[in-house]
Amino acid sequence: MQEHNILVVDDEKNILKVVSLTLRDSGYSVDIAQSAEEALEKFRLRAYNLIVTDLKLPGKSGAELLTEVKSLQPDFPVIMITAFGTIENAVEAMKRGAFNYLTKPVNPDELLTVVREALEKFELKRENQALKSELRQKYTFSNIIGKSTAMQEVFDTIRMVSKTQSNVLIIGESGTGKELAARAVHYDSDRAGGPFVTVDCATIPSGLMESELFGHEKGSFTGAHEKKTGLVEHADTGTLFFDEIGDLDPNLQKKLLRFLQEREILRVGGSSRIKINVRIVAATNRDLEQEVLAKRFREDLYYRLNVVTIRMPPLRERNDDILLLAHHFLERMNAVEGKLIKGFEDNVMDLLLSYGWPGNVRELENVVERAYVLCPNIAITKKYLPPKLLGPAGDERETFDEMNLLETEKRLIIKALNNTSWNQSKAAEVLGITRKQLRTKMVNLGLLPDAESIKKPVES
């Protein structure tokens, strides 16, 4: 147990003895004082974690001691001891910042419970303040958090590219924080005073995308009852962020390319072109080079967008950031919800570090929020983690999520079919299943049509 230093203040020697012995027997380091003046002198000379003081003292009262301690350290915990007849005074002291109060004669079990609660909350506040300071000073860049080498490289790239007007392509898996990086590029640039406008290429219907992007004139098509300013125009003097650019309709890719070349737009149904001063930042979770090879994405547009590339690493490649992020999300939940949870038990941290995080930072945030909501304790235990972080017996994590299992099964079946020249009976025998079971799996995995039509091996 971490050593805690407690200062006990009382002018009655019997109570001083009982309280100090009870605390020492429980492993606490205890100093004593018989007046508020003596207590303040010791408080200024040594670092304490808690003061337990009688309310009624010779000279300055316990309430006055409380006031002076709070003036020096506003969050410092003070527990008051009071006679039954002066409980109203103790309640008044709590309004002035005392953590709690105990009545004489002091019950040892009650004393230890209240002391433990006070120390835990004090430590939590101190740890959260230290973590917040650490995050702010070392590991935070425009709301992106990371101390790993991979993230420090991302920060360095953002700092360099934000000072230019070059287009930026941000690549990375879903949940890695691509939009946060785009916002960092904007707010660290000389365009920070201008708008940051997001175009969600994955959700805007292709039939509406041109109007959404470039706007339209009144009466330009059925339903165009009034003139509309498009997202590109809204972003003038700022940054236009294309989220999931790989999903952009091919017809719109050509029009976007023209805009990037000419930096002017023509509203749908309009006759005059409008000059636009905007920086383009795009993001995607797709491999755009492969999309170009497959003729699903224009090569000339790809090179227009990909002047500078920022790769957001998946969480599994930034193990040093997992606990930092988990504590950050926990601190944020404490601030929003008001419930104080100190942290994570050691076995929980081990599970967080060993899990593969297919959903990346977004998945980690959801896991911490779920545990926070369900956990009634001062620290999160593995009981409140989702089952996917645990093994079948609750001690080991699952190696693959459902999608990975299906992909693994598909590869094994293809390998067995290739090795048997696509003889389903022999392949089923190799796999240790019946031919009927194999055919069912092939249908579910989309392999049977290939097997029936082309009758030839496929690459595994």
Q: For residue range 142-151, what is the model confidence (pLDDT) as tens digits?
A: 678 898 999 9
- Asked if residue 296 lies in contact with residue 250, where contact means CB atoms within 8 angstroms, the answer is yes
pLDDT band, very low/low/confident/very high, at 460 (cuts 50, 70, 90): very low
Q: With 60 as the cut, is the pLDDT of residue 180 above it?
A: yes
- Kindly report the pTM of this predicted structure: 0.57
C-beta contacts of 351-357 below 8 A and 24+ residues apart:
351/382, 351/385, 351/389, 351/390, 351/397, 352/322, 352/323, 352/326, 352/389, 353/319, 353/322, 353/323, 354/397, 355/388, 355/389, 355/397, 356/316, 356/397, 356/399, 356/401, 357/314, 357/315, 357/316, 357/322
Q: How far apart are CA 398 and CA 414, in angstroms?
A: 24
- In order of start, what are the domains of the chain with their CATH numbers? 5-134 (3.40.50.2300), 148-313 (3.40.50.300), 316-389 (1.10.8.60), 405-453 (1.10.10)
Mean pLDDT of 277-288: 95
C-beta contacts of 216-222 below 8 A and 24+ residues apart:
216/267, 216/268, 216/269, 216/270, 217/267, 217/268, 217/269, 217/270, 218/269, 219/269, 220/267, 220/268, 220/269, 220/270, 221/268, 221/269
φ/ψ of residue 214, rounded to 5:
-105, -5
- Please report the pLDDT score of residue 5 as a whole number: 92
pLDDT in tens, 229-253: 889 999 999 999 999 999 998 888 9
Q: How far apart are CA 82 and CA 135, in angstroms?
A: 42
Q: Indicate the burial class of 133 (C-beta count within 10 angstroms; 0-12, 13-18, 19 or more).
A: exposed
Q: With 50 as the cut, is the pLDDT of residue 458 above it?
A: no
pLDDT band, very low/low/confident/very high, at 225 (cuts 50, 70, 90): confident
Which residue type, as a one-letter code, is found at position 175? G
pLDDT band, very low/low/confident/very high, at 405 (cuts 50, 70, 90): low
What value does the CA radius of gyration of the chain take, rounded to a whole number of Å? 32
Q: With 80 as the cut, is the pLDDT of residue 451 above it?
A: no
- Please report the pLDDT score of residue 130 as a whole number: 61
Instruction: Cite the beta strand spans of 353-453 per DSSP E.
Output: 379-380
- Please report the pLDDT score of residue 87 as a whole number: 67
φ/ψ of residue 355, rounded to 5:
-75, 150
pLDDT band, very low/low/confident/very high, at 417 (cuts 50, 70, 90): confident
Q: With 90 as the cut, is the pLDDT of residue 206 above it?
A: no
Q: With 70 as the cut, is the pLDDT of residue 193 above it?
A: yes
Q: What is the helix (H) or strand (E) element at residue 81, kind and residue range? A: strand 78-82
pLDDT in tens, 314-343: 999 999 999 999 998 998 888 888 788 888
- Please report the pLDDT score of residue 424 as a whole number: 87
- Please report the pLDDT score of residue 84 as a whole number: 64
Sign of CA dihedral 162, 320, 131, 368: positive
Mean model confidence pLDDT for the chain: 85
Q: With 90 as the cut, is the pLDDT of residue 34 above it?
A: yes
Which residue type, as a one-letter code, is found at position 222? T
- Please report the pLDDT score of residue 453 as a whole number: 39
Mean pLDDT of 339-363: 90
Residue 172 in 3-state DSSP? coil
Q: How far apart are CA 440 and CA 437, in angstroms?
A: 5
